[in-house]
Amino acid sequence: MELILVILIGLLYASGIYMMLRRSMVKMIIGLILLGNGANMLIFLLGRIVKGKPPIIDSAEKVFQDIYADPVPQALILTAIVISFGLQSFAIILVKRAYKVVKTDDLDALNSTDEIYD
C-alpha cells in the first residue's frame, strides 16, 4: 500500500511541475492543484498508515497500550486542503481577470502587455 502511495505522490509531483512549466495559465493552475494534492498525500503517508483505534485513553488505564491512529497528520491535511482551496480560488479569479484584459492564455503574451496597457 505504501509503495503505491509513494508512486502516486511521485506522479502527482512530476505532473504538477510539468504542468506548471507550460505556457498556459490554466495549465499552471492545474499544476498547482496537483502539487497541493501531492503534498497532502505526502503528509498522509508520513503520518504512517495503520489500522488503529481513536487516541482516547480509558479512565481505568493510565497509559494507552493499543495501536492508535495519529490525529496530527489528519489535522494538518485538513488545514492544507482549506488553504489550498483558498489559493486555488484566488488563482482562478486572477487568471479570469487577466484573460479578460489581455485576451490570451499565454504567459509569454503577458510580458508584452506592459507597453500596450500603460
Among 18-22, 74-78, 110-114, the minimum mean pLDDT is found in 110-114
- Comparison of pLDDT for 28 and 52, the residue scoring more: 28
SS3 assignment, position 39: helix
> In angstroms, rounded to a whole number, what is the distance separating the alpha carbons of residues 1 and 103?
46
pLDDT in the model for residue 46: 84
What digits encode the pLDDT tens for the residues 30-81? 999 999 999 999 988 887 776 766 667 777 777 777 777 777 888 889 999 9
* Confidence category of residue 10, pLDDT binned at 50, 70, 90: very high
> In angstroms, rounded to a whole number, what is the distance separating the alpha carbons of residues 118 and 115?
6
According to the CATH classification, is domain 2-51+69-116 in 1.10.287.3510? yes
Element (H, E) at 56: none
